[in-house]
Amino acid sequence: MTCREFSERLYALHAGELSFARNTLLRLHAAFCPDCRRLLDGYTLTVDLAVGGDTALPADVAVQVEALLGNLAVDSPGPG
């Protein structure tokens, strides 16, 4: 296992797409390779912290959306 091979499989390792044997091999490599461990840790942290949260629509935007939908309803032929 080289650092290049580790780097090439980093996405699959993080995504859990690897076989148990391959996964173990890569994690073993990272345990003994400071650079690959830093790469894996930083990659994982970057993914973990990229969260959108539950941001609700701001009230003014919600009003704007309702106005837009109201205008569509006026122009709509409606069901039936």
Partner 1 sequence: MDPLARRLRAREAAAFAELVHAEQNRLFRIALAMTRNQEDARDILQTALMQAWRSIDSLQDDARLGGWLCRITTNAALMHLRGRRRRPELSVEDAEETFDTMGHRTHPVAPVTPTPEDQVTRARLAARIAELGAALPEGYREVWVLADVEHLSMEEIGETLGLAVPNVKTRLHRARLTLRKALADERGAA
Closest to partner 1 by CB, 3 vs 31, is 3
Closest to partner 1 by CB, 19 vs 46, is 46
Question: In what helix (H) or strand (E) does residue 27 lie, and over which residues does it extend?
Answer: helix 20-32
Closest to partner 1 by CB, 20 vs 48, is 48
34-48 helix and 20-32 helix, angle to the nearest 10 degrees: 110
What residue ranges bind partner 1 (CB under 8 A)? 2-5, 7, 10-11, 15, 34-36, 38-39, 41-43, 45-47, 49-58, 60-62, 64-65, 68-69, 72-73, 75-79
Distance CA 57, CA 55 (A): 7
**Which pair of structure tokens corresponds to residue 31?**
């345990």
